[in-house]
């Protein structure tokens, strides 16, 4: 009899699993990308390797920067949260998958009921029990499992997107520190030059050679350099604090940004086609998985309109005496199927379907918005790459011209041909040109990093987070 009971339960389980294969969710179709088929300008489509396949170890040539990125991937708390969120989403998916299968447990019960003549009736049971297992004929639980799976995959893509952002943030902050060091060196040199000029101006003024106007102008220019120095020192401290937060620990002493900004170089990147970006950027893939989850949720909402069938069953032994519980002839099977057909729910199921449909439409808009935002990021980076090279070349020419102008102005002032005001103006212009040169080079390098990020670089599986 035990074999017969087991066969019946197995047949019921097989029927339920076959029924669960059906789903009332709409067929998923990826929405068309609401962007142009080509980049605006400045795109190099040819390349031997997609940007998303370039490891950050190969993109960043400086060993100190590579070490900082590696430290950040191990210690950044935001990335750690993203990794732990994957574990949470995986557990939620496993819970939904488990809902499709029956839960079987061992059950032992005993009861004593007093009779009319003072006697007592005892009933003892022991066996396996299956409690309120919903047979998923209309795919409600299967749709919810699909929702959980898509949410889990979206969380995994979210972790990759977080890694992409972290790698770019570390690189950009480190480049800012390199530029800060260059700007501080220029400012200290300028301040030393102006202090010497101020000393000479004071001597000339005290000896009646020049007017107080020349002295005050030199004094103002010197103090302006001190103001700039204090601002740059503060900015460097802020950039270092930002880098410490990104890597999740104090900045190692051997990894200080001491290289000049002109010594840093990054490889050129092929932009490829916008269609490549749709399948390589983790944030777009994350948004698509969220859309898939919203689409599957419609199937669960539709299934709520149909009957919900559940089964309670048990197989085991029953006896009026505890000592005879497991003796032969006491085995039995109980089956208690139930069917719940919604007749009146005050519009609850209809509202649930409307909510699921609106959620799918929202997810479509968010998916399209993520594509548009990604397209703009790439287009902005390409525009920067196309123009900053010419800007940097011209800025170098400006700095060289201002250096020559200062040399000539100093010679003319020494020989009494030009006024002291001309010399101070040349010093001021050279200082501004040198600062602009460093800032333009920084913008060019950060644009390359942003292009690498915008094209999905920085998350390859070979460099996955531990």
Of all residues in the chain, the percent with pLDDT exceeding 90 is 42
DSSP type of residue 267: -
Query: Looking at the whole model, is its pTM more than 0.85?
Result: no
How many folded domains does the chain comprise? 2
Q: Which CATH number goes with the domain that contains 333?
A: 2.20.200.10
Q: Are residues 385 and 426 in the same domain?
A: yes
CB 36 within 8 A of CB 275: no
pLDDT reading at 117 higher than 90:
no
pLDDT, mean of residues 433-453: 95
Question: Which domain CATH number covers 231?
Answer: 1.20.1600.10
| CA atoms of 123 and 318, how far apart (whole Å) | 7
Same structural domain for residues 378 and 396?
yes
- Do the domain assignments include residue 21? no
For residues 116 and 225, state if they share a domain. Answer: no
pLDDT band at 45 (very low <50, low <70, confident <90, very high): low
- Extended strands (E) in 320-417: 331-340
pLDDT digits (tens, 9 = 90+) for 331-374: 777 877 888 888 888 888 899 999 999 999 999 999 999 999 99
Q: What is the pLDDT of residues 218-270, one digit of tens each?
A: 899 899 999 999 999 999 999 999 999 999 998 887 766 666 898 888 988 88
Residue 417 in contact with residue 242, Cβ under 8 Å?
A: no
> What's the pLDDT band for 3 if we cut at 50, 70, 90?
low
Residue 22's pLDDT is 66
Radius of gyration of the chain (CA): 37
Instruction: State residue 367 phi and psi, 5-degree precision.
Output: -65, -45
Domain enclosing residue 2, as ranges:
1-16+105-135+308-341
What average pLDDT does the segment 95-121 reach? 79
Domain end marker among 299, 321, 341: 341
Residues shown for the chain: 466
> From CA 124, how far away is CA 330, in angstroms rounded?
11
């Amino acid at each position: 009899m035990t074999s017969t009971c087991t066969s019946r339960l197995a047949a019921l389980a097989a029927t339920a699993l076959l029924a669960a294969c059906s789903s009332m969710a709409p067929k998923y179709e990826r929405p068309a990308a609401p962007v142009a088929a080509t980049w605006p300008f400045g795109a190099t489509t040819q390349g031997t390797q997609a940007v998303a396949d370039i490891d950050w170890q190969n993109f960043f040539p400086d060993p100190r920067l590579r070490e900082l990125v590696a430290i950040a991937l191990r210690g950044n708390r935001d990335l750690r949260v993203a990794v732990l969120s994957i574990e949470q989403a995986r557990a939620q998916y496993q819970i939904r998958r488990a809902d499709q299968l029956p839960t079987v447990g061992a059950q032992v019960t005993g009861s004593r009921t007093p009779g009319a003549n003072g006697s007592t009736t005892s009933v003892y049971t022991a066996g396996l029990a299956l409690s309120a297992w919903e047979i998923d004929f209309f795919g409600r639980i299967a749709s919810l499992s699909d929702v959980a799976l898509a949410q889990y995959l979206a969380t995994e893509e979210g972790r990759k997107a977080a890694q992409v952002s972290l790698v770019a943030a570390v690189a950009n902050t480190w480049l800012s520190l390199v530029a800060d060091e260059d700007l501080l060196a220029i400012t200290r040199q300028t301040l030393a030059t102006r202090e010497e000029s101020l000393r000479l101006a004071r001597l000339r003024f005290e000896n009646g050679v020049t007017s107080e106007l020349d002295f005050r102008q030199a004094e103002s220019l010197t103090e302006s350099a001190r103001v700039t120095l204090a601002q740059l020192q503060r900015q460097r401290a802020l950039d270092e604090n930002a880098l410490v937060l990104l890597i999740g620990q104090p900045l190692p002493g051997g990894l200080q940004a001491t290289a000049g900004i002109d010594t840093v170089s990054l490889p050129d990147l092929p932009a490829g086609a916008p269609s490549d970006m749709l399948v390589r950027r983790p944030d777009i893939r994350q948004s698509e998985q969220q859309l898939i989850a919203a689409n599957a949720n419609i199937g669960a909402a539709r299934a709520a309109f149909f009957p919900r069938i559940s089964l309670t069953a048990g197989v085991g032994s029953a006896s009026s005496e505890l000592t005879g519980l497991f003796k032969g002839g006491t085995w039995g099977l109980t089956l208690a199927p139930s069917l719940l057909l919604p007749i009146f729910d005050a519009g609850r199921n209809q509202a649930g379907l409307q909510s699921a449909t609106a959620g799918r439409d929202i997810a479509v808009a968010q998916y399209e918005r993520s594509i548009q935002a990604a397209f703009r990021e790439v287009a902005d980076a390409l525009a920067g790459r196309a123009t900053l090279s010419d800007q940097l070349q011209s800025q170098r020419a400006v700095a060289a011209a201002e250096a020559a102008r200062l040399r000539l102005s100093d010679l003319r002032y020494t020989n009494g041909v030009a006024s002291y005001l001309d010399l101070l103006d040349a010093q001021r212009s050279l200082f501004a040109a040198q600062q602009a040169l460093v800032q333009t080079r920084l913008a060019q390098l950060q644009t390359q990093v942003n292009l690498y990020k915008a094209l999905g670089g920085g998350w390859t599986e070979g460099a996955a987070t531990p």
